[in-house]
């Protein structure tokens, strides 16, 4: 599932490509996603112009000049494909390959001026596309209970300490909670906890000030690095043709069960356990 860095990369791709364009036509080959696409309302977006493209947590917002915003959640396999005037297709992120896309999984096709097509493709249909009044979107059930953005100033040592002390849950579960922190997913939570040299099963209310500081710093550091590595593959968007991002090359624990710890001074082995039914990877020596 795409997490905050992947969604941020998609947002940047869309912002660079469809900003200030006008929707000329909309096709809905298959309205059945996690929630059915509202065909009647979606058609009303025709002739509107894209004012901006933004992100909150794992949600993408396409803000239009008609007072509406299209909200998109990519789910497990959702992806945007851009087609230029010469019929060339481009990926908008690094977590999928263009070769994997099949037209039968296209759910929404927006035609913009300059002969630009934006296609939403979703094999497993866990993603969704909804439309809200722009001035009321923050009241939606998807957004109103979200925690702060990890890269914002609101997420800091004081917020972490105040919030974590009220909860007696595993650190892994705390960081996975979207009410505590918006946008983190299983991959980056595993990486953050490893980099912080903390056991994922430590209780949140038992974290020391030093460990909280380290966690906050590593969350911001790892997310910035992931965005940079993904973003580097779309720096020249017209030339990427689905080129992969690079952050996968920097995984220290995720998916590495049975392999040696990547720390040069550690002789531990990466173990895999289940916490709240999610795969959790950690070093059996340096994460105590």
Residues with active-site annotation: 2-3, 58, 278
> CA–CA separation, 151 vs 187, rounded Å?
17
Q: Report which of 214, 219, 228 is spatially closest to residue 175, judged by C-alpha positions.
A: 219
């Amino acid at each position: 599932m795409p997490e905050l860095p992947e969604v941020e990369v998609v947002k940047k791709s869309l912002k660079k490509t469809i900003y200030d364009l006008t929707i000329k036509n909309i096709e809905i080959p298959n309205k059945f996603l996690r929630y059915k696409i509202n065909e009647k309302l979606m058609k009303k977006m025709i002739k509107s112009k894209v004012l901006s493209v933004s992100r909150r947590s794992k949600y993408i917002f396409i803000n239009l000049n008609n007072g509406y915003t299209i909200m998109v959640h990519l789910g497990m396999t959702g992806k945007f494909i851009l087609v230029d005037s010469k019929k060339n297709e481009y990926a908008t992120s690094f977590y999928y390959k263009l070769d994997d896309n099949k037209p039968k999984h296209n759910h929404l096709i927006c035609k913009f001026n300059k002969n630009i097509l934006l296609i939403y493709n979703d094999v497993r249909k866990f993603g969704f596309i909804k439309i809200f009044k722009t001035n009321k979107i923050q009241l939606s059930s998807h957004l109103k209970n979200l925690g702060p953005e990890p890269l914002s100033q609101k997420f800091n040592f004081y917020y972490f300490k105040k919030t974590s002390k009220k909860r007696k849950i595993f650190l892994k579960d705390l960081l996975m909670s979207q009410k505590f922190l918006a946008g983190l997913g299983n991959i980056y939570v595993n990486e953050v906890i490893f980099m912080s040299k903390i056991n994922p099963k430590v209780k949140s209310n038992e974290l020391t000030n030093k460990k909280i500081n380290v966690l906050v710093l590593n969350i911001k550091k790892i997310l910035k690095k992931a965005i940079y590595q993904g973003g580097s593959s779309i720096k020249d968007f017209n030339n990427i043709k689905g080129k992969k991002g690079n952050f996968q090359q920097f995984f220290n624990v995720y998916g590495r069960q049975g392999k040696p710890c990547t720390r040069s001074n550690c002789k531990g082995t990466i173990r895999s356990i289940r916490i709240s039914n999610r795969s959790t990877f950690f070093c059996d020596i340096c994460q105590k």
